[in-house]
Amino acid sequence: MMKLSGLKLHLTGQNKFNMESPPINERDFAELIRRHSPIINKVSYFYASEKVPFDDLRQEIYVNIWLGINQFKGRSEMSTWIYRVAVNSALMTLRSSRRRIETVSVDFGLIDVATSIDDAQRENLQHLHSLIDRLEDMEKAIILLWLDEFSYDEIADTLGMKRNTIATKIHRIKDKLSKQM
């Protein structure tokens, strides 16, 4: 397996990583993925399509995290960086796959949904997921971060946009979704 030059991550007690030399090892990378798999799974789920199956998209995100980990400078939370890599990976993979046609079956069990919800709530969630799936790619990225309770500043940082732009887009996306509900 590849080794990254100049970076090793060590876990701290606060779900953060400290950077040191030499390269990250496979065990640390596996722990990084384990801790952030809900983010990766959620992005993969919402961007999966007939052209890009869930597992392929998730694998592409893993590869891009591995290849890009040496670019993480610690200026933001690791989860913010992972989100950015995941969304960018999804968008790039979708763009490059426009020529391929494949099938995918979506497993709603991958979404973190409380087991105590009733059928009506589950149906409403599935309807909301289908509406989110119809959004443009960037709108989808913004609303997923907002639903994960990221602040406007965190969303702006993750997606490389201005805070006011994010606020406006969230307002428009919420209006669009509420009109379709």
**Is 147 or 169 the better-scoring residue by pLDDT?**
169
Does one domain contain both 69 and 127? no
What does the pLDDT look like over 131-157, one tens digit per residue? Answer: 888 888 889 889 888 888 888 998 888
Does one domain contain both 76 and 3? yes
What does the pLDDT look like over 87-98, one tens digit per residue? Answer: 989 888 877 776
What does the pLDDT look like over 15-32, one tens digit per residue? Answer: 444 444 445 788 889 999
Which of 109, 131, 155 delimits the end of a domain?
109
Does one domain contain both 92 and 118? no
Does one domain contain both 41 and 90? yes
59-78 average pLDDT score:
88
Q: What is the pLDDT of residue 76?
A: 83
pLDDT of residue 110 exceeding 70: no
Does one domain contain both 105 and 120? no
160-174 average pLDDT score:
93
**pLDDT band for position 60 (50/70/90)?**
very high
Within the chain, what is the greatest distance between any pair of CA atoms? 53
pLDDT of residue 46 exceeding 90: no
Does one domain contain both 97 and 124? no
Does one domain contain both 132 and 65? no
Does one domain contain both 90 and 42? yes
Q: Calculate what percentage of the chain has a pLDDT beyond 70.
A: 76
Which of 109, 138, 167 delimits the end of a domain?
109
* CATH code for the domain of 60: 1.10.1740.10
Does one domain contain both 92 and 148? no
Q: What is the pLDDT of residue 98?
A: 61
**pLDDT band for position 116 (50/70/90)?**
low
- Find the domain containing 3 and state its range: 1-109
Does one domain contain both 54 and 130? no
* CATH code for the domain of 150: 1.10.10.10
What's the number of domains the chain is made of? 2
pLDDT of residue 178 exceeding 90: no
152-179 average pLDDT score:
91
Does one domain contain both 80 and 98? yes
Which of 60, 81, 109 delimits the end of a domain?
109
Does one domain contain both 68 and 120? no
Exposure string of 158-169, with b = 16+ CB inside 10 Å and e = fewer, is bbebeeeebeeb
73-77 average pLDDT score:
84
